[in-house]
Amino acid sequence: MDQQNRNNNTPFGSYRYSADETNRRNAGADDTWTPISTGVPLQTPNKPQTPKTAQQKKTASRKPAKKKATARKKTAARKPAQQKAETPAAAQRPVVRDTQRRAQQTIQREQRAYDNDKRRFEKDHAYFEKGQNSGRSRDEIRRRKARRKKRNKKLRAVLTVVIVMAVAGLCALIYCVAYGAPINRINVSGKSIYSNEQIIDASGIRTGDNMLRIRKREVSRDICEELPYISSVKVEYKLPDTLVLKVTQAQEKYLIVGKGSYLCLDENDKVLSLKKKKAKEGQYRLEGFEQQTAREGDIYKPEGDNVSRYDVAKQIIAQLEKNDLKAANLLQMGDMNKVLVQFDGRINIYLNGNDYTKENNDLEEKIALVAGVIKNEISQNSKGYIDARFEGRVFFNEGTMTIDG
Tell me, yes or no, if the two domains 185-249 and 254-398 fold the same way: no
- pLDDT at residue 353, as a whole number: 87
> How is the chain split into domains, by residue range?
1-40+76-96, 185-249, 254-398
- Indicate the helix (H) or strand (E) that contains 134: none
- Each residue's pLDDT expressed in tens, for the chain with a length of 405 residues: 444 444 444 443 444 444 444 444 444 444 444 444 444 444 444 545 555 566 665 555 555 555 444 555 555 555 554 444 444 554 444 445 678 888 999 999 999 999 998 888 888 777 667 666 666 677 777 788 888 888 899 999 999 999 999 999 888 877 776 666 788 899 999 999 999 999 999 999 988 888 878 889 999 999 998 999 999 999 998 877 889 999 999 999 999 998 888 999 999 999 999 988 888 888 899 999 988 888 898 899 998 889 999 999 999 999 999 999 988 889 999 888 899 999 988 999 999 988 888 877 888 999 999 999 998 888 888 899 999 988 878 889 888 888 764
Tell me the pTM. 0.55
Q: Domain 254-398 falls in which CATH fold?
A: Rossmann fold (3.40.50)
R_g over Cα of the chain: 54
- pLDDT at residue 279, as a whole number: 82
* Separation of CA 200 from chain center: 31
- pLDDT at residue 341, as a whole number: 93
Calpha distance 238→244 (Å, rounded): 7
- pLDDT at residue 61, as a whole number: 55
- pLDDT at residue 78, as a whole number: 54
How buried is 214 (Cβ within 10 angstroms: 0-12 exposed, 13-18 middle, 19+ buried)? middle
- Indicate the helix (H) or strand (E) that contains 385: strand 384-387
Calpha distance 243→45 (Å, rounded): 94
- pLDDT at residue 37, as a whole number: 43
Q: Domain 185-249 falls in which CATH fold?
A: Ubiquitin-like (UB roll) (3.10.20)
